[in-house]
Structure 1
Amino acid sequence: MHDLLRSLWDEPRSPHPPTRVWRDWALVAVLVPLAVLEGLLRPELPWRFASAGIVVALVPILLWRRTRPLLMVVIGFGVSGLAPVLLPGATLESFTLVFLLLLPYALLRWGSGREAVLGLAFILGKVALGAAAGQLSPVDLVAGFAVLSATAALGLALRWRARARQRELEQVKLLERERLARDLHDTVAHHVSAMAIRAQAGLAMAPSDPAAATDALHVIEAEASRALAEMRGMVRVLRHDPPAGPPAQPAPDARLADLATLAGTARSGPPVDVDITGDLGDLPPPVRTAIFRIAQESVTNARRHARHAKRIEVRVSADPTSVRLRVSDDGEGGPPAGGAAGYGLVGMIERAGLLGGTCEAGPDPGRGWTVTAVLPRNGSPT
């Protein structure tokens, strides 16, 4: 209980409360003439002109009810409570004074925890004093308490809803950052790794075969162009202020036919053998993309870290319920526990998990490293 009260007391204000909007000015513009008209048209009100003047003077506090909720509650309910003392016989029975109910609403919606506790205590104290002085009948007391509770509950409900929406947006942003991290690693890092491997091969071959160095430069140029194009595509999608012209579109989904390009890029490393079996024609785009990215990352890791590897095999098969990917090599060692390859393994596992599948990676009993992924055929992002 103590922890609950402490958390309530330490609750911060709701972030980014609007200072004033056009509705606030419209509300003031309507309430002021209503208070004046009520003072003119209700002669039974005691001290009716003074009461109308007090109501008119209190109306502008609505302009600060979000940014200074506790102070406005003290002013509004304090002045209405002091009116009978300053004006004997005046009870401020003006109908226009109902706008004060906006103050506890704003207090619970925008105020901090300590402001809410102090403000509600002040309001209840004012009501208790009025009841003790005989200004409120039991019926008025119950009705007023019910209306006040409903107003405060509405403020709390909207505050909770806004907080839940904020948490939802933060979760979406976190998932989007994770997706972008996977995409950056699986695309740009793949091309950079290919450039590094090709550059090493060109340097090794340059003394004996200068033409190999030239060929390596051509491959590096092509990989750099592809990496730059993919980076530009991601930046266009992320921009909030795209330039004039057609809106930026995300890069097209990877196709399983693109797996053949993995075999074609093995000129500076062990040969890559790609084999696709089963009916894969109607796979959803998320499944196609996940299969390609996992295979791409696995091949990149094998070429970088599998020492003395003679082959890399990529096998994709499908049945009516699932798609299975297996990437294996016969080299020594495997991806390190940390670094870029470590993030690559995490990204592969996340990709499979988001589609309701699994991804496992580890050394083979003899030598080599194998990555196995199993995805539901009709998987969809969660």
Structure 2
Amino acid sequence: MRGMTSPARALWDAPAASPPPPRRVWRDWVLVAVLPPLIVLEATLRADVAWRWLWAVVLVALVPTLLWRRIRPFTMLAISFGVGWAAGLATGGDPQLIATAYFLILVYAVMRWGSGRAMLGGAALVLVGTLVSLPLGEATPADVIGGIAVVATTMTLGIAFRQRAAARARELDRVRLLEREQFARDLHDTVAHHVSAIAIQAQAGSAVAASDPAAAIDALRVIEGEASRTLDEMRSMVGVLRRADAAELAPTPGIADVRRLARVGAGAPGAGGVLGSGSAAASPDQDRGPEPVAGDPSIDVRIDGDPDAVPPAVGAAVFRIVQEAVTNARRHARDASRIEVRVRVDADGVRVDVRDDGAAAASVAPGFGLTGMAERAAVLGGTCTAGPAPDGRGWAVGAVLPRSGWSA
């Protein structure tokens, strides 16, 4: 095949249709059961057809090839055409029975399910069969043109349905990939957040265990709570994977849930309170998370504007961006005592700012967290940046989700 051009070689090397066909379905058995009586009935009624009973026997004997037309399309077509040509040469003419039209199902199957070689071989068989049948019959030019048109239409339909199925399979693969990326981001943003808290509390508990056993016990309680939440979120994610409708039933975090990330740093009572719209303090019943032990920075949350005016998808993205930024600050910020979270909702969209007061880092290698935040913002037509704070103290994360990127 060295002389082939690129398109011809690509077709020659093309694999069988994907997704693979079903081996047999109930329609195949119905077809095989219905065709033989129809062939016998036509042979009985059409006494003017020469050799009609021979052709009837041949056509009935070839009906079972339909059962293997999907898994062996070229082989079944070759058997049918070969036997048909042999019968035509023996009788000196073409079959005049209309039931012969079921051969078109085999032609369609080759184009729909066969490999590239099968498609090219099937087209060659049809062409040779047409040329061989011309001197045997008494067909007029109009009959020949009409027959070629019918066969060409059948082939075109097979190719069209093949391409449509392939396009749908590619779209499903793309959706699955997007779902996997979404799940990876959620897994990183939620589970990593709690695991990071567990690691921080374990380090703090180890540091104060000898001098302050009570603080170490508090750290163990925090670890227990974070571990329980991690297990709950893992079970929720597994449920989403197992049930198609679980995603619709599972609660989606929003901007209002950002308040749950607030906490008071140990040794700084009263710091890091939760602020709602404007400067109003959150209620004491607000879920503020576990009380940290020594070394854990305060997390101060302030939300300006109306969080309920933001679509759920945008609210979820804001929550995950803030959650990841806070996790990174708690994990990596050196000597940080305070993390500030500011979320502003206005007519232009949503603005998120998260910064800490730790020692500024010159640079940081982009990991899954920073990449996930940028991807979430980009999906909604926004941007997300991370780097040293402008004043040189601490690390700052800023995300802008313009309303034009997610509103109709």
Aligned mates of 2:189, 2:110 — CA distance in 1: 49
Residues 208-243 of structure 1: CA deviation (Å, up to 9, x unaligned): 11101000000100111111111111111211599x
Question: How far is 1:336 from its partner?
Answer: 3.9
Could you tell me which residue of structure 1 aligns to residue 169 of structure 2? Answer: 166
Deviates more, 1:70-79 or 1:170-179: 70-79
Letter in 2 for 1:113: G
Aligned mates of 2:119, 2:60 — CA distance in 1: 26
Q: Is the 8 A contact 2:256 2:307 kept in 1?
A: no
Residues 8/248 of structure 1: CA separation in 2 closer, same or farther (3 Å cut): closer
Whether 2:33 is the aligned partner of 1:18: answer no
Question: How far is 1:65 from its partner?
Answer: 0.9
Deviates more, 1:216-225 or 1:300-309: 300-309
Give the secondary-structure state (helix, strand or coil) at the position aligned to 1:272: strand
1:337 to 362, 365, 381: 365
Could you tell me which residue of structure 2 aligns to residue 109 of structure 1? Answer: 112
Whether 2:234 is the aligned partner of 1:237: answer no
Residues 249/236 of structure 1: CA separation in 2 closer, same or farther (3 Å cut): farther
Aligned mates of 1:119, 1:313 — CA distance in 2: 70
Question: How far is 1:350 from its partner?
Answer: 1.2
Question: How far is 1:93 from its partner?
Answer: 0.8
Whether 2:386 is the aligned partner of 1:348: answer no
Aligned mates of 1:158, 1:240 — CA distance in 2: 30
Could you tell me which residue of structure 2 aligns to residue 183 of structure 1? Answer: 186
Could you tell me which residue of structure 2 aligns to residue 312 of structure 1? Answer: 339
Q: Is the 8 A contact 2:94 2:137 kept in 1?
A: no
1:42 to 40, 43, 46: 46
Give the secondary-structure state (helix, strand or coil) at the position aligned to 2:191: helix
1:271 to 298, 318, 322: 298
* Identity across the alignment (%): 55
Give the secondary-structure state (helix, strand or coil) at the position aligned to 1:264: coil
Question: How far is 1:20 from its partner?
Answer: 1.4
Question: How far is 1:271 from its partner?
Answer: 1.9
Paired residues for 1:9-88 under 5 Å: 9-15=12-18, 16-88=20-92
Give the secondary-structure state (helix, strand or coil) at the position aligned to 2:262: helix
Q: Is the 8 A contact 2:264 2:297 kept in 1?
A: no
Residues 300/172 of structure 1: CA separation in 2 closer, same or farther (3 Å cut): same
Aligned mates of 1:313, 1:241 — CA distance in 2: 38
Could you tell me which residue of structure 2 aligns to residue 373 of structure 1? Answer: 399
Question: How far is 1:163 from its partner?
Answer: 0.2
Residues 106/238 of structure 1: CA separation in 2 closer, same or farther (3 Å cut): same
Give the secondary-structure state (helix, strand or coil) at the position aligned to 1:13: coil
Letter in 2 for 1:276: I
1:363 to 388, 391, 404: 388
Residues 281/38 of structure 1: CA separation in 2 closer, same or farther (3 Å cut): closer
Q: Is the 8 A contact 1:130 1:136 kept in 2?
A: no
Residues 86/134 of structure 1: CA separation in 2 closer, same or farther (3 Å cut): closer
Question: How far is 1:178 from its partner?
Answer: 0.5
Q: Is the 8 A contact 1:283 1:377 kept in 2?
A: no
- Structure 1 residue runs of 5 or longer lacking an equivalent are none
Aligned residues: 374
Residues 206/381 of structure 1: CA separation in 2 closer, same or farther (3 Å cut): farther
Letter in 1 for 2:321: I
Residues 119/255 of structure 1: CA separation in 2 closer, same or farther (3 Å cut): closer
Question: How far is 1:194 from its partner?
Answer: 0.4
Q: TM-score normalised to the size of structure 1? A: 0.92
Residues 189-218 of structure 1: CA deviation (Å, up to 9, x unaligned): 100100110111111111111101000000
Could you tell me which residue of structure 1 aligns to residue 122 of structure 2? Answer: 119
Residues 97/127 of structure 1: CA separation in 2 closer, same or farther (3 Å cut): same
Aligned mates of 1:330, 1:129 — CA distance in 2: 87
Aligned mates of 1:346, 1:178 — CA distance in 2: 11
Residues 101-137 of structure 1: CA deviation (Å, up to 9, x unaligned): 1111100000000110011111101101222445532
Letter in 2 for 1:349: A
Give the secondary-structure state (helix, strand or coil) at the position aligned to 2:352: strand
Residues 122/249 of structure 1: CA separation in 2 closer, same or farther (3 Å cut): closer
Q: Is the 8 A contact 1:274 1:315 kept in 2?
A: yes
2:199 to 186, 193, 196: 196
Q: TM-score normalised to the size of structure 2? A: 0.87
Give the secondary-structure state (helix, strand or coil) at the position aligned to 1:362: strand
Question: How far is 1:262 from its partner?
Answer: 2.0
Letter in 1 for 2:78: V
Could you tell me which residue of structure 2 aligns to residue 224 of structure 1? Answer: 227
Aligned mates of 2:260, 2:404 — CA distance in 1: 25
- Structure 2 residue runs of 5 or longer lacking an equivalent are 266-291
Q: Is the 8 A contact 1:284 1:378 kept in 2?
A: no
Question: How far is 1:154 from its partner?
Answer: 0.5
Letter in 1 for 2:218: D
Letter in 2 for 1:254: P
Give the secondary-structure state (helix, strand or coil) at the position aligned to 2:384: strand
Deviates more, 1:267-276 or 1:42-51: 267-276
Q: Is the 8 A contact 2:263 2:300 kept in 1?
A: no
Give the secondary-structure state (helix, strand or coil) at the position aligned to 2:372: helix
Paired residues for 1:122-141 under 5 Å: 122-133=125-136, 135-141=138-144
